[in-house]
Amino acid sequence: MTFENSLAYAKKMDTNDPLAPMREQFHIPKHSNGEDEIYLCGNSLGLQPSRTQEYLNYELSQWQKLGVKGHFSGDFPWMPYHEFLSEGFADLVGAKTSEVVAMNSLTANLHFMMVSFYRPTATRHKILIEDHAFPSDHYAVESQIRYHGFNPDESMLLIKPREGEELIRDEDLMALIEEEGDSIALIMLPGVQYYTGQVFDMEAITKAGHNKGCKVGFDLAHAAGNITMSLHQWNVDFACWCTYKYLNSGPGSVAGCFVHERHHSDKSLNRFAGWWGHDKETRFKMANHFIPMESAEAWQVSNPPILSLAAIRASLDTVKQAGGIKALREKSLQLTGFLRFLLEQELGEDINILTPTEDKAHGSQLSLTVDTHGIDGKVVFERIEAAGVTGDWRYPNVIRVAPVPLYNSFEDCYRFVQILKQSLQPE
């Protein structure tokens, strides 16, 4: 792609962008000067779609009018409500509708999945994760290892970048799986790494892991709604994602989970069960004998919070209106490509972009380090915030910015880089 470095060009890109009108489907926070913020934080908390309030109000009014009968009445009865999300989730992650379910929260789902897919033995007891994993994932893995009576020092295998590098090289990951595979029970890696924005080759990792007899699961917190995936075709064992980042379903909203269909009828799997995973036909017979559904729904334990699911439904309808994840990804590559082009043109050596350049190795997010002019990165971050940019700061020294295709514009990218440039000036 070739770009031009000017405001006029950015505006022209917006005029020609078929997804530009989607911005009106969102509430854009305002800066103190009354203008729209340059919101580049959709990787952390996505903005509120305009239909969300309507969908929530509908459920509140159903509850007012119907009480318990809301479970079975109206356009979206609560009893099967999670099923209204299956098609949208399946499209996002490349799955069959029977392979996905909305339930719990992300870290809780990682635990539930490990109950089923981390079955350590004396010789095969390791979990492979990345060295700089999101802390919650690290804690979950560590505690599962301990729960099974193993020692994290021996059973937690960390893949690290090479000395002096930030990204994990595919060949190093493959070599580690080849070398250690016989002792690895579970490989659990991100689809998109939260700190660097690196996209992992999920298909190749799954294949390499399966060749060695390991189970392979992914944390898609930063991948769902960001990049295209084919979990079913790739044979991934399980995956979990939250819905409040690129999926715009509100803070702490219910998470998503994928379990490959080849596991659905496996009676030997361990599972922490609850009534919502029981066969629908006989669930309300209240019998003592647990009969799991033959779908990802078998892993549900409780009846879900409908208000949160309504927000997810609003988000999925918004994605659908935009033409689905393929259309979003197409714009995303242009938008993030434009942002990188501007950063390189305007700031050259003054900032470092950790995120890989190749299309297949990045999503919306770029992770930047700033350490020039003797100005601390954190100070630069505070300056851009004061000038109306919302990004986020990740310890120890990264500014993450994610122009997202649903509501960010090429003009947002242009104006952000101008603000960042000014913020790098010595005082």
Ligand X SMILES: *Cc1c(COP(=O)(O)O)cnc(C)c1O
Residues that bind ligand X (CB under 6 A): 105-107, 134, 136-137, 190, 194, 219, 221-222, 242
Least Å distance, CB 369 to ligand X, is 19
Distance CA 293, CA 77 (A): 20
Q: Do residues 248 and 25 make contact, with C-beta atoms less than 8 angstroms apart? A: no
Cβ closer to ligand X: 400 or 415?
400
Cβ closer to ligand X: 251 or 426?
251
Helices of type H across 69-183 = 86-93, 106-117, 135-147, 152-155, 170-180
Least Å distance, CB 398 to ligand X, is 14
Distance CA 113, CA 41 (A): 29
Least Å distance, CB 222 to ligand X, is 5
Least Å distance, CB 318 to ligand X, is 20
Cβ closer to ligand X: 194 or 407?
194
Cβ closer to ligand X: 116 or 423?
116
Distance CA 141, CA 139 (A): 5
Q: Return the bridge partners of 186, or none.
A: 127, 215
Distance CA 70, CA 105 (A): 24
Total count of residues recorded for the chain:
427
Read off the DSSP letter of residue 105.
Answer: -
Burial 381-410 (b: 16+ CB within 10 A, else e): bebbbebbbbbbeeeeebbbbbbbbbbbbb
SS3 189: strand
Distance CA 392, CA 376 (A): 15
* Amino acid occupying residue 389: V
Cβ closer to ligand X: 117 or 246?
246
Continuous segment of H or E residues that includes residue 56? helix 52-66
Least Å distance, CB 9 to ligand X, is 33
Least Å distance, CB 147 to ligand X, is 18
As a 3-state breakdown, the chain gives helix, strand, coil percent values, each rounded to 5, of 45, 15, 40
Name residue, tokens 């005082």.
Answer: 427
SS3 271: coil
Cβ closer to ligand X: 105 or 249?
105
Cβ closer to ligand X: 42 or 70?
42
Cβ closer to ligand X: 166 or 219?
219
Distance CA 422, CA 318 (A): 35
Cβ closer to ligand X: 108 or 327?
108
Least Å distance, CB 139 to ligand X, is 10
Cβ closer to ligand X: 292 or 391?
391
Least Å distance, CB 366 to ligand X, is 16
Half-sphere exposure of 155 (CA within 13 A, CB side): 25
SS3 91: helix
Least Å distance, CB 57 to ligand X, is 25
Least Å distance, CB 105 to ligand X, is 4
261, 283, 403: which is closest to 332 by C-alpha? 403
Least Å distance, CB 367 to ligand X, is 13
Read off the DSSP letter of residue 103.
Answer: E
Cβ closer to ligand X: 10 or 224?
224
